[in-house]
Homo-oligomer: A and B are copies of this chain.
Amino acid sequence: MDVGEEFNRKFREVGVAEFFRKNLQMLGYSGAIRSFTTIIHEFVTNALDACEEYGILPEIKIHIKDLGTKNLSKGNIKLKKLEERLEDAEANGSKAKVDKLKRQLEKLENEVGDAGGHFVVTIEDNGPGIPLEYVPKVFGSMLSGTKFHRYVQSRGQQGIGAVGAVLYSQMTTGKPTKIVTSTGKGKASVVFLRVDVERNRAKIIEESVIDSKDWQGTKIVAEFKGLLYRRGEQSPYEYLRRTAMANPHATITLYEPSKKRISWKRTSNISPPLPKEMKPHPLGLSADDLLAFGRKSRAKKLSGFLQADLSRVSSNKSKEVLKISKVEDKEPSKINHVEADRIIRAFRDMKLLSPSTEGMTPIEEKHLEKSLNKRLEAKFIKANTRRPSVYRGGIPFQVEVSVAYGGGAGRPTSDGRKMEIMRFANKSPLLFDTGACGISNAIRSVNWKNYNVSDFENAPLTVFVNLISPHIPYTSAGKQAVADDDDVVKEIRFAVMEAGRTLKRYISGMHREALKVKRRSMFLKYAPEVAGALGKISHKNPEGIENMLIGMIEKRIKLREDKEAIEELTKNGTTEKAAA
């Protein structure tokens, strides 16, 4: 065989869409339930990001219609049983068994999904809309979008998600996806499109412009097979419920296949500040990053580039770093790797201000507390938004947590409520890969007994953590877990512990209240008897004596409680100092 001829015959280039068509699990399409949640996630994050960029209070409607599901009843019974066993195992705590059951469950979900599960999903927002010329790119062309290149806190990033969902729809049903969108000028575009997998381009099936009056926004209608809809920890329902919690300015309405309508109404009418593009800090960069930025810079000189494109690099600092690193002040695209490496190392030896954190938009304590109050109806809620911080020396991040206790807090199970961890990254819920997540690890590493939570796993407790950053340190492409970065984990621990101290006072208050009720009822139980006896001896009216006795008891109990409360507060103050 001639090698050249063989290469001519066999060599081919394939498109990125073709690659992902073969590797759908990379995009979150594995399992009938996870795939469903992935679809909802992709469209909802796009809607929220778009609204946020334009300061619009989001109204998002999700309709899920069941077009008929074969062989599901039998599978559903099996699923139900397996779920119960999983719950038991989780309660009794053997990780190996839990993992095994989870795998079984996922497998069964897949099988059930394979057997049918044909749905129409409609997602409508009141966002800025998409100009007609960009519709084919946004929905039909992978690796294109407005976010990949910008250092900004956003939910989506890669310009793959929405196209992936369109691809998954056409792969499972062959149907095009319908997009209706208006940028609010009285007209809306209606586009039916597919992904042309070979060319990574949209294939427009039908396109028209209609009158839309004053409607602005985007509506997507797509059909899918192989999905499974039911409520559960990793379901679209749970995903949306949590999205509503972390986005108090959004109203989200879900129409379930059963026709049940759930509306999570906004609890805040204030739109979060517009996300600002940030500049990367020198200490968060590798030499290769610096080269990549340099190639794209419009600055004429290296010193100008460092000053303009990086955070916390003044004109003086820029000159200083070139001096230390002994790199000539040439065109930024002309430096090589060795020079870039020298510059990065020189920055490490210099004094630089921490990265600017002004681009970060947390949910904020008051909004978070109000939102969780409404969603969870817990008896106690405390939110805590920490000040922004920095990891790996140069990447800004911010942590906010909330601890909710009693009432609707925690996860309902067959025998009462259990502790529940809710993880978020840039306000998007993370539902999968809990075990491998730095957020979960940080929460579990807290000694909850110090905060009067004697049995953490079985407490009626919700721990909510939202991690904010222009660069979330995900563990993998699935973007479902955060790496165990020391700085990040420490910050989450502190945030949780801070909220925990308020919880502690609440719980000990509850104990005190319970004790008070017990003491009073004990004394009062004997009051009539004692009053009767005293009445007989003193020949006075027993009712008057009883009232006097009750008055004395109440006064005595009050005094004692005040004393205890003062002691408790003093003790707490000391504990807090020691723990901080």
Which of B13, B130, B336 is in CB contact (< 8 Å) with A137? Answer: B13
A134: Cβ under 8 A from any B Cβ: yes
Determine if A158 is an interface residue (Cβ-Cβ < 8 Å): yes
| B288 x A26 contact (CB < 8 A) | no
A546: min CB distance to chain B, Å? 60
Smallest CB gap from A129: residue in B = B3
- Interface residue A175 (Cβ < 8 Å from any Cβ of B): yes
Task: List the one stretch of A165-173, A250-258, A311-319, A394-402 in contact with chain B.
Answer: A165-173
A77 at the interface (CB under 8 A from B): no
A557 to B222, CA, bound (A): 80
CB proximity of A167 to chain B, nearest CB, Å = 10
Looking at the assembled complex, report how far the CB atom of A127 sits from the nearest CB atom of chain B, in whole angstroms. Answer: 9
How far apart sit A150 and B484, CA to CA, in the bound complex (Å)? 40
Q: Which of the candidate stretches A4-12, A227-235, A461-469, A496-504 sits at the interface with the other chain?
A: A4-12
The interface-forming segment of A78-86, A139-147, A299-307, A409-417 is A139-147
Tell me if A95 is interfacial: C-beta within 8 Å of chain B.
Answer: yes
Residues of the B chain whose Cβ atoms lie less than 8 Å from the Cβ of A23:
477
Most buried by B among A1, A12, A21, A143: A12
* A7-B131, A337-B175 as given contacts; A14 in contact with B149, CB under 8 Å: yes
Shortest CB-to-CB span from A240 to chain B, Å, is 26
A286 part of interface (Cβ distance < 8 Å) = yes
Check if B148 sits within 8 Å of A12, measured CB to CB.
yes
With CB as the reference atom, state the residue of chain B lying closest to A167.
B288
Does A209 count as interface, using CB distance less than 8 angstroms?
A: no
Q: For chain A residues 206-262, which have a beta carbon within 8 Å of chain B? A: none
Give chain B residues whose Cβ lies under 8 Å from the Cβ of A131.
3-4, 7
Question: How many residues on chain A are close to B (CB under 8 Å)?
Answer: 70
Contact of A171 among B11, B107, B288 (CB under 8 A): B288
Q: Which residues of B contact A150 (CB under 8 A)?
A: 10
Q: Collect the chain B residues with CB atoms within 8 Å of residue A143's CB.
A: 13-16, 18-19
Which of B11, B149, B172 is the one whose CB lies under 8 Å from A288?
B172
Closest B residue to A194 by beta carbon equals B337
Once A12-B146, A337-B170 are accepted as A-B contacts, the answer to whether A158 and B19 lie under 8 Å apart by CB is yes
A291: nearest chain-B partner, CB-CB: B174
> Taking the complex as formed, is A183 at the interface, i.e. its CB lies under 8 A from any CB of chain B?
yes
Q: Is the CB of A159 within 8 A of B14?
A: yes
- Contact yes or no, A12 B287, CB < 8 A: no
User: Is B1 a contact of A137 with CB atoms below 8 Å?
Assistant: no
A580 at the binding interface (Cβ < 8 Å):
no
1/0 contact trace for A315-338 toward B, CB 8 Å? 000000000000000000000111
B103/A174 in contact, CB under 8 A:
no
Chain B positions within 8 Å of A341 at CB level: 174
* Interface mask (A340-368 → B, CB under 8 Å = 1, otherwise 0): 11000000000000000000000000000
Closest chain B CB from A82 CB (angstroms): 15
Cα of A107 to Cα of B476 in the assembled complex, Å = 14
- Enumerate chain B residues within 8 angstroms of A71, measured Cβ to Cβ: none
> Is A295 close to B, CB under 8 A?
yes
CA separation between A66 and B65, bound complex, in Å?
Answer: 60
A-B contact pairs, 19 of them (CB 8 A): A1-B54, A1-B128, A3-B130, A4-B183, A6-B146, A10-B147, A11-B134, A13-B141, A13-B143, A14-B144, A14-B148, A19-B143, A21-B292, A26-B477, A95-B96, A95-B99, A170-B337, A171-B286, A174-B287
Beyond contacts A3-B130, A19-B160, A25-B475: 16 other A-B pairs, Cβ-Cβ < 8 A, are A3-B128, A6-B146, A11-B137, A12-B145, A12-B146, A14-B159, A16-B19, A18-B143, A21-B292, A23-B477, A25-B477, A95-B99, A103-B436, A170-B337, A171-B288, A197-B292
